[in-house]
Amino acid sequence: MILTGLPPIVDNRARVLILGSFPSTASLAARQYYAHPQNQFWRILGEVIGQPLKDMGYPTRIAAVQAAGIAIWDVFASCERAGSLDTAIRDAAPNPLAGLRESTPALRRICFNGRMAARRIREVEAMGFEAVVLPSTSPAHAGMSFAEKLARWREALRP
């Protein structure tokens, strides 16, 4: 069965875009990015922008992220996948990243949330964006401490 991802969270204030690979089963069910309770995304991003994102309702969380100049999307628009692991992604169709330059004039940096997402790094660099690969916030990536992940994310998302 083909799964379809979520629409981008982006507006013309975006200076940084965080690209994941594809939403988890929990995220698809909730129709919310990073909905799995064990994913550290909202906790890390909240620390970076100084907002309690994890404790906010989803619409308020998104408004805070956009006000901070951050956009969220995934590299894949659709795929086949059993479960939520990136390694299970098959027959993935890419999201159209090429239109970002026109729709987000302030966008300068694209950060990849993990190595699977970073498979499109050369394409992003060819479009003239600074590209940074960050440690995945997924609970499956437990090889790095929260403090280490936070330090890397904080550096990449600096204004």
Q: What is the 3-state secondary structure (H, E, C) of the chain?
A: CEEECCCCECCCCCCEEEEECCCCHHHHHHCCCCCCCCCCHHHHHHHHHCCCHHHCCHHHHHHHHHHCCEEEEECEEEEECCCCCHHHCEEEEECCHHHHHHHCCCCCEEEEECCCHHHHHHHHHHCCCEEEEECCCCCCCCCCCHHHHHHHHHHHCCC
How far is it, in rounded angstroms, from Cα 115 to Cα 120? 10
Q: Residue 100 has what pLDDT?
A: 86
Q: Residue 141 has what pLDDT?
A: 64
Q: Residue 58 has what pLDDT?
A: 98
39 annotated active-site: yes
- 71 forms beta bridges with 17
Catalytic residue (one of 12, 39, 95, 113): 39
**2-156 topology per CATH:** Uracil-DNA Glycosylase, subunit E (3.40.470)
Radius of gyration of the chain (CA): 14
Residue among 127, 68, 77 nearest 103 (CA): 127
- 93 forms beta bridges with 78
Residue boundaries of the structural domains of the chain: 2-156
Q: Residue 87 has what pLDDT?
A: 82
Q: Residue 45 has what pLDDT?
A: 98
Q: Residue 121 has what pLDDT?
A: 96
How far is it, in rounded angstroms, from Cα 71 to Cα 129? 14
Give the angle subtended at the CA of 21 by the CAs of 19 and 26, to the nearest 5°.
110
**DSSP-derived pairing of the beta strands 130-134 and 70-74:** unpaired
pLDDT tens digits, the chain, 159 residues: what are they? 899 999 999 999 999 999 999 999 999 999 999 999 999 999 999 999 999 999 999 999 999 999 999 999 999 999 999 888 888 899 999 999 988 888 899 999 999 999 989 999 999 999 999 999 999 998 766 688 999 999 999 999 987
